[in-house]
Amino acid sequence: MSEFSIGIDLGGTNLRAAVVSREGQILDRHTALTSISQGRDAVIDAMVGAIRTLRDRQTGRFAGVGIGVPGFIHLEKGYIFNSNNLVPLENFPLRDEIEKRLGAPVILENDANAAALGEKWMGAGRDVRHFILLTLGTGIGGGIIHHGRVLHGEIGMAAELGHITVVPNGLPCGCGNVGCVEKHASATAIAAMGRLHGLGENITAKGVYELAVAGNDRAHMIFEHMGRSLGIAIANLVNIFNFPLHLLSGGPLPAWEFFAPYMFEEVKRRSYTFRHTDTRIEKAALGDLAGLYGAAYLPFLSQELGSR
C-alpha cells in the first residue's frame, strides 16, 4: 500500500501544507492564513483543519505530520521556545496538542533544519552525506546535515548560523549580539543597507539588485559587503566542519554574480581547508519548497530510525 505524510511550513502570515509520498512526490497542497493575531487556538485550528482536509483526500497509509517552525524548538518537549513571528505559540505543548487532535504522530523541527533535510532528501544535497544550508531571508537560517541527519545539539538549538559574528562592532541583532551575519547578508539587511546608503526610503532587496544590474555603484558596494560578510561566516564553517558542500537559498540568490566573487574571495583568504580541498559553495535546488519536503520527510525518517 502506498504511504504518504504531510509536511507543514508554518510562517507568521500563512501556513503551507503538502502531501508527499514515500518516494518524495508532492501529491496535494493546501495554503491557509495563520491568523496569529487571533491567538493560539486559531492557528492550531487552521493547522489541524489543513491536515484533515489533505488527509481525507488520500487513500494510502498516513505516516504522520512534520511541522517546520521559524524559531528555537525544544525537540524533546515538542514546543517552540522562542519565535519572533509566532509568540502566542511559545512555551506550549504544540506537538502533543496536535497529536491528540489528529491521533497521528507529529514532529516539530526548526524551519531551516527542515529545509536542509528537504535538500538532503530531494534536492542539491541528495548525494552528499554532510552539508550545510544557509537560507537568506528576513534573517539567515541554518541547517547542518551530518551523516544524512540534522545536527541538533543538546536540545535542538544548534545551527543558528545567522548569528555568527562577522563584524565585531556591527549592526545590533534581535538575539542580543551585534554584527551577526544575518544583519549584514540577509534580504532584510540588503534592504536596510539600501536605505542607509540613500537608495530610497522604501527600497527592497530586489530594488537594490535592480540598481546593481543598472550599474549603480552604491548597490554594488552593498553586495560586496554582503558577499564578504557571508564569506567570513562560511570560512568559519569550512574551518570547523570540513564539509564538502555549502548551499545557499533565498531571495538574494539572483544577485549571485554581484556578491559571490567577494564571498569566494573571503572564504579563500580565511580558510586553509577551503584552499586545499574540493569544497563547494552552491545554490540550493528546491527553493521555497525545501521546507515542505523536509517537514514531510520527518515522519518517514522517524520510522526508519525507529525500525533499526
* Total of chain residues touching Zn ion, rule CB under 5 A: 5
Nearer to Zn ion, 34 or 186 (CB): 186
175 contributes a contact to Zn ion by CB under 5 A: yes
**β 140-146/131-136 pair status:** antiparallel
Only segment of 128-136, 140-148, 166-174, 272-280 that touches Zn ion (CB under 5 A): 166-174
Strand partners, 31: 16
Whether the CB-CB separation of 208 and 222 falls below 8 Å is answered with yes
Cell numbers standing for residue 131: 552539508
Q: Give the CB-side neighbour count of residue 127, counting CA atoms within 13 A.
A: 1
Residues in CB range of 103: below 8 A, 6 or more apart: none
Only segment of 50-58, 121-129, 169-177, 212-220 that touches Zn ion (CB under 5 A): 169-177
How far is Cα 209 from Cα 256, in angstroms, rounded to an integer?
10
Nearer to Zn ion, 35 or 177 (CB): 177
Nearest approach in angstroms of CB 15 to Zn ion is 26
Nearest approach in angstroms of CB 174 to Zn ion is 6
To 10 degrees, what angle do helices 217-241 and 256-270 make?
Answer: 40
Nearer to Zn ion, 173 or 191 (CB): 173
State the binding string over 106-145 for Zn ion (x if CB under 5 A, else -): ----------------------------------------
Nearest approach in angstroms of CB 139 to Zn ion is 8
Only segment of 127-135, 159-167, 241-249, 281-289 that touches Zn ion (CB under 5 A): 159-167
Nearest approach in angstroms of CB 163 to Zn ion is 4
157 contributes a contact to Zn ion by CB under 5 A: no
Q: Give the CB-side neighbour count of residue 29, counting CA atoms within 13 A.
A: 9
Nearer to Zn ion, 34 or 110 (CB): 110
Nearest approach in angstroms of CB 183 to Zn ion is 7
180 contributes a contact to Zn ion by CB under 5 A: yes
163 contributes a contact to Zn ion by CB under 5 A: yes
Nearest approach in angstroms of CB 166 to Zn ion is 10
Nearer to Zn ion, 180 or 199 (CB): 180
Which position among 173, 260, 263, 298 is part of the footprint of Zn ion (CB under 5 A)? 173
| Residue ranges that bind Zn ion, judged by CB under 5 A | 163, 173, 175, 177, 180
